[in-house]
Amino acid sequence: MPSTITAVSFKSSLLSRRATLWLAAIAVAVSVVNCASLPPPRTPIEALYRKRCGNCHELAEPGAYSGNDWKRIMVQMSGNAGLSDAQAAELLGWLMKNSGSKTP
Ligand code: HEC
């Protein structure tokens, strides 16, 4: 008789461990989805920006820098991101258009 009880409680502890693993897996999956919760890019240039400029550091908000800052930054970062001249020019235009307006 005692051996039956042990078997049952062993089985239920196995089940609850499996349930815990599942909960952990679901929690991880949910947090991964949350991390990628940026709205979909609206333009190809925005997609390029997200794909090429967020690998080494967090993506900067275009509005966090002035147009002149972006000119200076892009001299260095277009090389970092391996952009072609055309891509760099287009991206700089987009960043300047969306740049912060407080400083020139
Ligand atoms: C190969 C890695 C790498 C890639 C790719 C990269 N960066 Fe950077 N970025 C850095 C490093 C390292 C720094 C900090 C060093 C520095 O300021 O010189 C930095 C700094 C910055 C800063 C802060 C500059 C400041 O003066 O405050 C901005 C904004 C930025 N990057 C934007 C971009 C943009 C836009 C792109 C895409 C075109 C890009 N980064 C791609 C490595 C990278």
pLDDT of residue 34: 47
Pocket test for ligand 1, best of 77, 87, 95 (most atoms within 8 A of CB): 77
Residue 36: predicted pLDDT: 55
Give CB contacts under 8 A, 24+ apart, made by 68-72: 68/103, 68/104, 69/99, 69/103, 70/95, 70/96, 70/99, 71/96
CA of 67 to the centre of ligand 1 (A): 15
Pocket of ligand 1 (CB under 6 A): 52-53, 55-57, 60, 65, 73, 77-78, 80-81, 83, 91
Residue with the smallest CA separation from ligand 1 atom 23 is 73
- pLDDT in the model for residue 17: 64
Domain ranges of the chain: 1-37, 44-97
Q: Which CATH architecture group holds 44-97? A: Orthogonal Bundle (1.10)
Tell me the pTM. 0.73
Tens-digit pLDDT profile for residues 36-81: 567 899 999 999 999 999 999 999 999 999 999 999 999 999 999 9
